[in-house]
Structure 1
Amino acid sequence: MIDLFSKWYKDRFSDPDAVTLSVLLLFGFGLIYFFGALLAPLLAAIVIAYLLDWPVNRLQRLGLNRTGATVIVVTLFISLAVLALLGLLPTVFKQGSNLVRDLPSMLNQSQSYLLTLPDKYPEAIDSEMVASITDNIRNKVLASAEAIVSFSLGSLINIAAVLVYCILVPLLVFFMLKDKQSLSLSVTRLLPENRQLAAQVWIEMNGQIMNYIRGKAVEILIVGSVSYVVFAVMDLRYSALLAVLVGLSVLIPYIGAAAVTVPVALVAMLQWGFTSDFWYLMVAYGIIQALDGNVLVPVLFSEAVNLHPVAIIVAVLVFGGIWGFWGVFFAIPLATLVKAVMNAWPSEKAQTDLASE
């Protein structure tokens, strides 16, 4: 057993570049795992900086210097973000509070409908079972509603921290964009000399992360906007709130789309029952999800499409369990990173074959 492990270690870690890459990966994973909460503003700033780097580069090509381009792009981004939040958040919060307020009546309505099922299908459905299920659902939903309200009230205590983040994150984004080259050189100086393999993996991942973040932002905007138009045209209740949920659901591949279908279908059923309007809405919603998965995602994430769906779901579960939101958000790039490292990792046999050639 020891000989087998020794042979495997010699085969995989005989190259100093491989040792450097493994140390950097372990350091990065450990840093985010143990200090992820403290680094949340930095991670948010990195994501926004990746998103805004492309327009800054475009303005530079038009003749502006890096500082001027950064000032223009960051100012426009903050202005659009403030306008979007002021226009969207009040509506979403209002509909969310209305939904919490209407939950008891919605539960009574759904319970009344479920209690009619034993009369319609006496051989398949037992009335006591239905009553037990509805009571459990009622208790769970009301407990969740109370948790949401208490979370909202408790979050007011952290309003000072939120305000600090609102100032800190834009400043980090500004300096990351303005001093991109000098910051990159400073980080490079801290790395070991044997970093050729790490540099190779980073060059590949840097472009993929940039494309992923930009594509994910575009996907959220398109899916959320189209969903809102469909929900509003069909006069679905809580249309803005549900559209936001649908848009944000694309952050979690496969699982998010399945999870957000439940509230959409539930609200539609309680509003219209199993009428034609309900089925029209579900067909339209299904078309949106189909176009997102089969047209939008392949166009925006051509590299990610090469990953097997099982690999993506496992990445969401593993990295989400380790790092929470950021693990879910970066699940696909992290899965691509694992794949890139496995493909680029040298072995003694490969080096021997290369030397013989």
Structure 2
Amino acid sequence: MVRILRGLADKYFSDDEAVILMLLLVVGTLAVVFFGAMLAPVIASVIVAFILQGLVSKLMGWGVPETLAIVGVFLVFMGILLGFLFGLMPLVWTQVTALAGEAPRIFRELQSYMEVLPDQYPNLISIDAVNTVYHEVTSEAARMTQWLVSFSLSSIPDLLAVLIYMVLVPILVFFFLKDRKLLLGALARLLPHQRPLMLHIWEEVNLQCANYVRGKAVEILIVGGATYVAFKLLGVPYAALLSLLVGLSVVIPYIGAAVVTIPVAMIALFAFGWGSHFIWVMVVYGIIQALDGNVLVPVLFSEVNNLHPVVIIVAVLFFGGVWGLWGVFFAIPLATMLKAIFSAWPVKREPLGPIEDAG
């Protein structure tokens, strides 16, 4: 056992930089696990600044002065943030409460749909199974409605914390953009002067994660916006709420689209019933998902190494269990970062032995 561990250490940690990098990864992981909730505004600000830095660099490449580029990009960010907070969120909250108010009617219609199933498929579905499913669904809906009411009442003390975050995050984003070189230089002074391995890994991580995170931000805006326009034209109720869910679903490939399809289909079914209008809604929704997966994703993520679906599911389960909802949203970027690190990790190759003469 000792010989095996010594061999692994010699293979993967023969470089001093590899040992330092592993220590940094361990310390960073422990910091996220134990202080993630406390440092959530800082981490969110770093991610937002990381996304916006690409726009700043692009403007500087076009000849725009750095200060003007930073101020311009920050003002665009503030405009989007204010539009989201005072435009989209009140509309979404209004539609959520309206949907909660219509829940009894929806479940009455659901019951009427389910009651005819045993007559149509007597060999497959029994009336007891229908009653059990309906009871479970209505119980869960009642708990969700109760949670919604209690959340609206109990969340009043938390509004102060939310307001503090709304002020704190933009300030941090601005300083991360303005003093990026100063902050990175301060961190670099804590590392060895000669660090070719770390520089190589940083370039790889920066390429992979920057392209992924910025691409996902653009994908959310395009998919959510296209869904909202399509649902409004088709007269789908709760279009803002559904488009927000569809846009955020792209953060978790495969899983997100499968989960969000259920509320889209249910609301369209209860709004229009079985008929051509319902079919058109689902066809348009399917076209948006197909264009996203086959056109938009290849264009936005052409330089990013795709993760295997099994890796995506494991990352969502692991980081979601460690960091809750934040972990679910950041599972894929974190998995992409880890893949980039391990792809660039130095491995000591054993010399090949002499080739024996077959003759």
Q: Which moved more, 1:190-199 or 1:100-109?
A: 190-199
- State the identity as a percent: 49
* Deviation, structure 1 residue 209: 2.0
Q: Which runs of 4+ in 1 moved over 6 A?
A: none
Q: Which residue of 2 aligns with 1:19?
A: 19
Q: Which residue of 1 aligns with 2:187?
A: 187
Distance 2:346 2:74 in 1: 41
Q: Which residue of 1 aligns with 2:79?
A: 79
Distance 1:253-1:174 versus aligned 2 partners, 3 A rule: same
* Deviation, structure 1 residue 14: 2.0
Distance 1:146 1:249 in 2: 25
Contact 1:20 1:194 in 2 (8 A): no
Contact 2:18 2:345 in 1 (8 A): yes
* Deviation, structure 1 residue 305: 5.2
Q: Which residue of 2 aligns with 1:210?
A: 210
Q: Which moved more, 1:129-138 or 1:334-343?
A: 334-343
Distance 1:273 1:237 in 2: 13
CA displacement 1:204-228 (0-9 Å, x = unmatched): 1112222222211111111111111
Structure with more of its chain in helix, by fraction: 1
* Deviation, structure 1 residue 338: 2.7
Q: Aligned partner of 1:189: which letter? A: R
Structure-to-structure mapping, 1:21-170, within 5 angstroms? 21-61=21-61, 64-170=64-170
CA displacement 1:223-264 (0-9 Å, x = unmatched): 111111111111111111111111111111111111111100
In the alignment, structure 1 segments of 5+ residues that lack a partner are none
* Deviation, structure 1 residue 270: 1.3
Contact 1:20 1:195 in 2 (8 A): no
* Deviation, structure 1 residue 317: 2.0
Q: Which residue of 1 aligns with 2:294?
A: 294
* Deviation, structure 1 residue 117: 1.3
Distance 1:15 1:351 in 2: 17
Distance 1:73 1:160 in 2: 27
Distance 2:196 2:333 in 1: 21
CA displacement 1:140-197 (0-9 Å, x = unmatched): 1111221133223222211111111111111111111111111110010112456432
Distance 1:141 1:351 in 2: 64
Contact 2:111 2:134 in 1 (8 A): yes
CA displacement 1:265-304 (0-9 Å, x = unmatched): 1111112222111111111111111111111111112244
* TM-score, length-scaled by structure 1: 0.92
Contact 2:208 2:340 in 1 (8 A): no
Q: Aligned partner of 1:322: which letter? A: V
Distance 1:350-1:172 versus aligned 2 partners, 3 A rule: farther
* TM-score, length-scaled by structure 2: 0.92
Distance 1:231-1:351 versus aligned 2 partners, 3 A rule: farther
Give the root-mean-square deviation of aligned CA atoms: 2.1
Q: Aligned partner of 2:172: which letter? A: L
Contact 1:17 1:198 in 2 (8 A): yes
Q: Which moved more, 1:324-333 or 1:273-282?
A: 324-333
Distance 1:227 1:241 in 2: 10
CA displacement 1:304-328 (0-9 Å, x = unmatched): 4532222222222222222233333
Distance 1:192-1:305 versus aligned 2 partners, 3 A rule: closer
SS in structure 2 at match of 1:331: helix
Contact 1:21 1:195 in 2 (8 A): no
* Deviation, structure 1 residue 96: 0.7
Contact 1:118 1:125 in 2 (8 A): yes
Q: Which moved more, 1:124-133 or 1:36-45?
A: 124-133
Q: Which residue of 2 aligns with 1:227?
A: 227
SS in structure 1 at match of 2:123: coil
SS in structure 2 at match of 1:190: coil
Q: Aligned partner of 1:267: which letter? A: I
Q: Which residue of 1 aligns with 2:357?
A: none
